Chain A
Amino acid sequence: MHAANKGFGKVLAVHIGVIAGFFILQFIVPPFHAAMLTRIMVLATYAIGYNILLGYTGLMSLGHAMFFATGLYAAGLSVIYYGLPPLEALLLAILLSAVMSAAMGAITLRTSGVFFLIVTMIFSQVFFLTTLYFNVITGGEEGLVLTRYLKPISLGLFSVELTDSAVKYNFALIIFAIAFLFSLWLTRSPVGRVLVAIRENEERAEMLGYNIYKYKLLAFTMSGTISGMAGAAYALAFAYIGSALASILYSINPLLWTLLGGAGTTIGPIIGTGLMIYIIDFTSGITTSYLIVVGVTLMLLVLAFPPGIVGAIRRRWLRWLP
């Protein structure tokens, strides 16, 4: 399935090309699409995090909104209540997401198969209800706006404002690039290979002497941490936190984006996220029942197109894609 190391130049070129492409696009596309792309990069980061668990470890979670929202609220609330500068808030959020996902992983990974799905959904949904319960602090469903609390990011000699759309774009791009390159590194690292071995045949991997639980917990924590980083980036870039971003839809979304683009491919989650964001933006202009698109797409993917877009491309043409 994976090309040997000699093909790495080609692989690296494609990945650098994706990042460079996003960088160049900001000078070409009109402001509306630049804003859409900012959103896509942040949410694609979330999908990349999700894909580490689904695509490379074979574990389907229905509760990642819990980690996305941990990052979101950690960053947002620390900016609002403690006046933390954006980068410090981001680091704090990443740290808390790591702790949260490690703890949740330790509990939920005691189950397997469909039970894992049920349990992740229960905890995530309760996390969502908790954000509503403490609505005095979190702003509940209406949420809170960060704009007037956001301090400038100081970069040594000068500082930039996250309220500026070009800064937003490049902030999102950096977050995205970190996650994207991390996922590429992971697929080629020894750890990543063990995870794929677990995905392909758990018993065999266990018989080879690997501690399955430990590796799954590691994958779960990496996945949750990147999801939390995406949530924090969302709070900072769009200056908004709200409990809708912790709801079950935000657990389903990364699943949908990853499956559409192709689970177990590094580029798939990005394609899936981009496509879905544009489709939802279009359909929400037509009908209030636009979420039916989510349902129909999931159904069609399962029935007719399981490998997803990049998965199909890899199968037919580019077998060396990671």
Chain B
Amino acid sequence: MSLEVTLFLGLLDGVVFGLIMALIALGLSIAFGVMRIVNVAHGEFYMLGAVIAWYATTYLGNFILGLIIAPAAVTGLAAAVERTVLRKINYNPESTIVATIGLLYIIQQLVLAIYGPYAYNVEPPFYFRVDFPWFGYSGYKLSIAVVSLLIMGLTALFIFKTRLGLYMRATQQDREIAQAFGVPVGRVYMASFALGAALAAIAGVLVVPFLQAYYLMGLEALLISFMIVIIGGLGSLKGTLVAALIIGVIDGVVSVFFSPTLAKIVGSVLVAAVLLVKPTGLFGAER
């Protein structure tokens, strides 16, 4: 392949990857925006989505069913964790970090015990190739890029057009005043945490047909979504999308020319540069 074609392939891969990662990082960003907490187990929700999708497709024979079951199960789990753990420690930022690290290992090791140390993928629900002049590209990959955009659009619609979304934005701005105006802050917290987890789980389901479901896959997703939220500014939806595309394109291009590891190294240099120039991230508000 010529240089230009390889570059084009890298860009295409990067945009698809970036949109998927944006979905995950958006979940992290929503939970942070509303609750001021960082969920270190966020990558595990993504991994659980992928693993449950594998079970659903393999035993129920239906990928679309997985796309419903996995986010539902992960949402339930996240809501339960929010009730039984995060609420108990009063959403203290550092205690939450420690608790979610604990959750990370509990989920990861349970999956290792039940699902095993293997990596499986599933058949994509449909096959078609998009033929470019130089190469054919997986139609499934392009479709999930569109689906990711669609889900992000729906999420934005939910946040800006529904009552619960209004409550979330109010809580994000000022928790006490929101409470004084009758916003059920406790339920808003649970909804935000569960919504964040659901987005990660959906991303997990979407990738199983071309990435394999593996018990350690959550860590890479966590690393990339951390880079995204630092570059874009944690809590900013626009920043998340822009930074995800930047990180995605870097990942795609550097991966096709060199290696995925080098892509992460380049990403971290970018993180350092952003911190030196604008510690709040490109679109971040005051910390």
- Residues of chain A with a CB closer than 8 A to B99's CB: 298-299, 302-303
A91 within 8 A of B: no
* A112-B287 contact in complex given A297-B102, A303-B99, C-beta closer than 8 Å: yes
* A129-B261 contact in complex given A110-B275, A118-B38, A291-B105, C-beta closer than 8 Å: yes
Residue contact B106 to A292, C-beta cutoff 8 Å:
yes
- In Å, the complex CA distance between A23 and B97 comes to 37
- In Å, the complex CA distance between A259 and B99 comes to 12
A117 within 8 A of B: yes
Instruction: Please report whether the interface of chain B is mostly helix, strand, loop or mixed according to DSSP.
Output: helix
Instruction: Please report whether the interface of chain A is mostly helix, strand, loop or mixed according to DSSP.
Output: helix
- In Å, the complex CA distance between A119 and B269 comes to 12
Q: Per-residue 0/1 for B59-74: is the Cβ within 8 Å of any A Cβ (1 yes, 0 no)?
A: 0000000000000000
Interface size in chain A (residues, C-beta < 8 A) = 42
Q: Which of A110, A117, A292 contacts B97 (CB 8 A)?
A: A117
Residue contact A133 to B98, C-beta cutoff 8 Å:
no
- In Å, the complex CA distance between A302 and B92 comes to 10
Please choose the segment from B107-115, B145-153, B181-189, B237-245 that sits at the chain A interface, where 4 or more of its residues have CB less than 8 A away.
B107-115
Q: What is the CB-to-nearest-CB distance from B16 to chain A, in angstroms, rounded to a whole number?
A: 22
- In Å, the complex CA distance between A172 and B101 comes to 30
- Residues of chain A with a CB closer than 8 A to B37's CB: 114
- In Å, the complex CA distance between A129 and B223 comes to 11
Highest count of chain A CB atoms <10 Å: which of B94, B95, B105, B226: B105
B78 within 8 A of A: no
* A289-B226 contact in complex given A111-B275, A255-B98, A302-B99, C-beta closer than 8 Å: no
* A302-B113 contact in complex given A112-B287, A115-B234, A252-B101, C-beta closer than 8 Å: no
Using CB atoms, name the residue of chain B closest to A249.
Answer: B105
Using CB atoms, name the residue of chain B closest to A59.
Answer: B94
B residues bordering A, Cβ < 8 Å?
Answer: 32, 36-38, 40, 85, 88-89, 93-95, 97-99, 101-110, 112-113, 117, 219, 223, 226-227, 229-230, 234, 259, 261-262, 264-265, 267-268, 271-272, 275-276, 279, 287
A residues bordering B, Cβ < 8 Å?
Answer: 60, 62, 107-108, 110-115, 117-119, 121-123, 125-126, 129-130, 132-133, 248, 252, 255, 259, 287-292, 294-299, 301-303, 306
18 contacting pairs across A/B (C-beta < 8 A):
A62-B97, A62-B101, A114-B36, A114-B93, A114-B234, A119-B271, A125-B219, A126-B265, A129-B261, A133-B265, A248-B219, A252-B101, A289-B113, A291-B109, A295-B103, A295-B106, A298-B102, A299-B102
